[in-house]
Amino acid sequence: MSLVADASLVTAQACWVVAPGQAEIRSETLPALAEGEVRVRTLHTGVSRGTEGLVFRGEVPASEAQRMRAPFQAGEFPGPVKYGYVNVGVVEAGPPELLGRTVFSLFPHQTVFQVPGSAVVPLPPGVPAPRAVLAAHLETAINALWDANPSPGHHIAVVGGGTLGLLVAWLAARLPEGTVQVVDTNPSRAGIAAALGAGFALPEQAQPQADLVIHTSAQAAGLATALGLAAFEATVLELSWYGSRPVSVPLGGAFHSQRLTLKSSQVGHVAARQRDRWSHRQRLELALSLLTEPVLDQLITDTAPFAELPRVLARLAGPDAPDTLCQRIDYPPPP
């Protein structure tokens, strides 16, 4: 039985993309807490620049509208839509075993919300709430390596030094006797790549003949670079999602003579090799358990209060997007 059974109504504020290129904060009233539900007061959310940028710009293809729904999305693409899936908060009402726990959930940007207790995952000891906003990206990186199946001793290139690419590199660098090189056009990524145990190169200086190439830049030029770095019969794993943008893929040249494999990876399904043994929740729990490393705080480069989120989304999705890795949004204390 729920610890809290009051019928008091709670007002929440949430960020909605009301039309392509336009977001605003809206108020809503939560219903009374149902049996088995938890009420969570948000501490932090994270902005997934790639996917949320596409949502903000209205670039979700109609054919993918259902598949790209976030677990607790409200509304429909292109808008109005309440979207997001990186939420860290404290349970303030619900079953006794969860009351007061700091939890991660796949809920959009909202000050307080209610979901089934099964939809939240408590943070493990040693994982601070501000760092836990990296969990969704790290879960994607884990799934990518499950799809890629790298081996000890492999030379691995990660093309794209954003949050996801750097987390992939961090995981891959833990494999013994191999090398990992992050390839990006921004030389400022070199320092953080080194801190995460990986090398760095600009595209024109990258080491070729990689046994595995993982592409995360969401740019056609990055995909061309990734194909050019692949060794004979190597795999290029594509993690980028381009939405409705057409992408030119250079499949001439050495693509056929090198017998390359171009493979997609997407976090919506657990990688096929692990699907019989791992659930989505177990994969998320694994990601959270890995966030005890303080070096990962370097990936959270920008913070802003919740009230500024509409302007933050416009800035991150604009043509002159800033040099931001993970953007964290910080929420006000309860009234």
Least confident piece of the model among 105-109, 129-133, 244-248: 244-248
Confidence of residue 245 (pLDDT cuts 50, 70, 90): confident
> Would the pLDDT of 215 be above 80?
yes
Q: What would the mean pLDDT of 89-116 be, rounded to a whole number?
A: 97
The structure's pTM equals 0.93
The string of pLDDT tens digits covering residues 277-302 is 999 999 999 999 999 999 999 999 99
Q: Residue 59's pLDDT is what?
A: 92
- Give the number of other Cβ atoms within 10 Å of residue 6's Cβ: 10
List the chain domain ranges. 10-126+292-330, 137-273
Write down the CATH number for the domain with range 10-126+292-330: 3.90.180.10
Q: Residue 7's pLDDT is what?
A: 52
> Would the pLDDT of 5 be above 50?
no
Print the SS3 string covering the chain: CCCCCCCCCEEEEEEEEEECCEEEEEEEEECCCCCCEEEEEEEEEEECHHHHHHHHHCCCCHHHCCCCCCCCCEECCCCCEECCCCEEEEEEECCCCCCCCEEEECCCCECEEEEEHHHCEECCCCCCCCHHHHHHHHHHHHHHHHHHCCCCCCEEEEECCCHHHHHHHHHHCCCCCCEEEEECCCCCHHHHHHHCCCEEECHHHCCCCEEEEEECCCCHHHHHHHHHHEEEEEEEEECCCCCCCCCCCCCCCCCCCCCCEEEECCCCCCCHHHCCCCCHHHHHHHHHHCCCCHHHHHHEEEEEEHHHHHHHHHHHHCCCCCCCCEEEEECCCCC
Residue 188 phi/psi, 5-degree rounding, is -70, -10
Q: Are strands 102-105 and 87-93 parallel, antiparallel or unpaired?
A: antiparallel
63-99 in b/e burial notation, b at 16+ Cβ within 10 A?
Answer: eeeeebbbebbeeebbbbbbbbbbbbbbbebbbeebb
Q: What is the mean pLDDT of the chain?
A: 94
Confidence of residue 234 (pLDDT cuts 50, 70, 90): very high
Question: From the centroid of its chain, how far is CA 107?
Answer: 13
> Would the pLDDT of 4 be above 60?
no
Structure tokens at 95: 């079953």
Confidence of residue 324 (pLDDT cuts 50, 70, 90): very high
Q: Residue 319's pLDDT is what?
A: 74
Q: What would the mean pLDDT of 24-52 be, rounded to a whole number?
A: 96
> Would the pLDDT of 175 be above 70?
yes
Residue 247 or residue 38, greater confidence? 38
Write down the CATH number for the domain with range 137-273: 3.40.50.720
Q: What would the mean pLDDT of 160-169 be, rounded to a whole number?
A: 97
> Would the pLDDT of 334 be above 90?
no
Tell me if 55 sits within 8 A of 77, measured CB to CB.
Answer: yes
Q: Residue 217's pLDDT is what?
A: 94
Q: Residue 3's pLDDT is what?
A: 42
Confidence of residue 2 (pLDDT cuts 50, 70, 90): very low
Confidence of residue 331 (pLDDT cuts 50, 70, 90): very high
State the sign of the Cα–Cα–Cα–Cα dihedral 312, 318, 323, 324: positive
Q: Residue 335's pLDDT is what?
A: 75
Q: Tell me the percentage of the chain whose pLDDT exceeds 70.
A: 97
Q: Are strands 121-122 and 102-105 parallel, antiparallel or unpaired?
A: antiparallel
Structure tokens at 218: 């969401």
Q: What would the mean pLDDT of 163-169 be, rounded to a whole number?
A: 97
Q: What would the mean pLDDT of 129-136 be, rounded to a whole number?
A: 98
The string of pLDDT tens digits covering residues 250-262 is 898 889 999 999 9
> Would the pLDDT of 8 be above 80?
no
Query: Whole-angstrom Cα distance, residue 6 to residue 32?
Result: 7
Q: Residue 318's pLDDT is what?
A: 83
> Would the pLDDT of 205 be above 70?
yes
> Would the pLDDT of 320 be above 80?
no
